[in-house]
């Protein structure tokens, strides 16, 4: 083996170790009693105490329900709206199509994340502040989803479309029977990206929620960990791991799908 190759392998592993370090540190702290949180002794006893304490100290069960509902709600609406819009852009030469498509693409650059001031005003006028709808609505028509599906629908052979029409299927039935099944991998990719985005989203939910009834996990975690009463890092790290747990476990189980989905979604 060339010395260069050995050097590179060592370098790669050092970088990998560096990348794993913060998470490894968090795992250590969360699973050990707090007196060991900064002392690294091999024989330190393992415990789930920190998780139990964190779970009892804040309404995390409610936050989990909120986040799950939010993520499911956003994804469901996104899938329907983006499918319909993408179908229109891919297969209907309606007047103003090019201009409308450009207007959709604006959202790729100017995401709802930066329009917090005006969108807050709108939510307040609609009277839905502090609800899951207020968190989700700005994201439901996703330019990214429309773009991704339009690209996919354009690759569907016209013969299949025609065959369905000949059998007497209308526009929506053709969409449902021909286009949607063929785009399945794209739907999975988009779904994974959307779920992890909204599971992790923080600033906008922080702004529009102010009660346990609507707070998602990320905001709940922040409320929990920013209370300054003798910070017990073991409990905070346990809560931190708990909130990212489901996503992390899903990622470890379906690593290949995750990486491929992010790849597919990014390259489009």
Partner 1 sequence: MSDLSGMSSARRDAPVHGSATPRRWRVHVQGWLLLLPAAVLLVTFTHYPVVATLYHSLFSNPRAGRAGVWVGADNYRAMVEDPVFWRVLGNNIWFAAGTIPVSIALALLMAVWVNGRIAGRSLLRLAFFTPTVLPMIAVANIWLFFYTPGYGLLEQLTGLLGLPSHNWLGSRETALGCLVVVTVWKEAGFFMIFYLAALQSLSPQLGEAAALMGAGRWYFFRRVTFPLLMPTTLFVLVNAVINSFRLVDHIVVMTKGGPDNATALLLYYIYDVGFKFWDQAYAAALTLVLLVILAAVALGQFLLLDRRVHYQ
Residues 37-56 that bind partner 1 (CB under 8 A): 38
| Dihedral sign of CA atoms 8, 11, 17, 22 in order | negative
Q: Give yes or no for a contact between 186 and 263, defined as CB atoms under 8 angstroms apart.
A: no
Phi, psi angles (nearest 5°) of residue 110: -105, 90
Please, what is the minimum distance in Å from the beta carbon of residue 111 to partner 1? Answer: 7
Q: How far is the CB of 179 from partner 1 (least distance, A)?
A: 12
* # binding residues, partner 1 (CB under 8 A): 102
* Token reading at 19: 């990348």
Q: Least CB distance from residue 45 to partner 1, whole Å?
A: 20
Among 120, 131, 156, 182, binds partner 1 (CB under 8 A): 120
Long-range CB contact pairs, 162-171, < 8 A, 24+: 171/87
Is residue 121 near partner 1 by the rule CB under 8 A?
yes
Q: Name which of 46 and 267 has its Cβ closer to partner 1.
A: 267
* The only residue of 7, 20, 212, 227 in contact with partner 1, by rule CB under 8 A: 20
Cβ 244 vs Cβ 63: under 8 Å: no
Instruction: Scan residues 73-92 and list those touching partner 1 (CB under 8 A).
Output: 80-82, 84-85, 87-92
**Rounded to a whole number, what is the largest CA-CA distance in the chain?**
74
Q: Rule CB under 8 A: which of 131-190 touch partner 1?
A: 137-138, 140-141, 143, 146-147, 151, 154, 158, 161-162, 165, 171
> How far apart are the two ends of the chain, measured CA to CA in Å?
39
Hey, which residues between 223 and 262 contact partner 1 (CB under 8 A)?
Answer: 225-226, 233, 236-237, 240-241, 243-244, 247-248, 251-252, 255, 258-259, 262
Q: Cβ distance 135 to 214 under 8 Å?
A: yes
Question: From CA 149, how far away is CA 79, in angstroms rounded?
Answer: 10
Closest distance to partner 1 from the beta carbon of 99 (Å): 9
């Amino acid at each position: 083996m060339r010395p260069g190759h050995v050097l590179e392998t060592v370098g790669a592993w050092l970088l990998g170790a560096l990348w794993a370090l913060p998470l490894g540190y968090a795992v250590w702290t969360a699973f050990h009693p707090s007196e060991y949180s900064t002392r690294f002794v091999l024989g330190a006893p393992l415990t789930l105490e920190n998780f139990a304490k964190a779970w009892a100290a804040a309404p995390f069960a409610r936050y989990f329900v909120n986040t799950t509902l939010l993520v499911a709600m956003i994804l469901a609406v996104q899938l329907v709206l983006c499918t319909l819009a993408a179908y229109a852009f891919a297969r209907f030469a309606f007047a103003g199509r090019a201009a409308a498509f450009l207007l959709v693409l604006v959202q790729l650059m100017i995401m709802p994340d930066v329009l917090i001031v005006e969108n807050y005003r709108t939510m307040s006028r609609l009277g839905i502040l502090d609800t899951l709808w207020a968190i989700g609505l700005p994201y439901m028509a996703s330019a990214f989803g429309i773009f991704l599906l339009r690209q996919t629908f354009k690759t569907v052979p016209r013969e299949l479309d025609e065959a369905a029409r000949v059998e007497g299927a209308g526009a929506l039935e053709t969409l449902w029977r021909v286009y949607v099944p063929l785009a399945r991998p794209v739907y999975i990719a988009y779904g994974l990206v959307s779920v992890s985005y909204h599971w992790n989203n923080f600033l906008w939910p922080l702004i529009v929620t102010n009660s346990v009834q609507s707070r998602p996990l990320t905001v709940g975690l922040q409320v929990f960990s920013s209370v300054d009463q003798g910070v017990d890092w073991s409990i905070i790290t346990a809560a931190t791991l708990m909130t990212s747990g489901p996503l992390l476990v899903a990622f470890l189980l379906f690593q290949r799908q995750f990486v491929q989905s992010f790849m597919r979604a990014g390259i489009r």
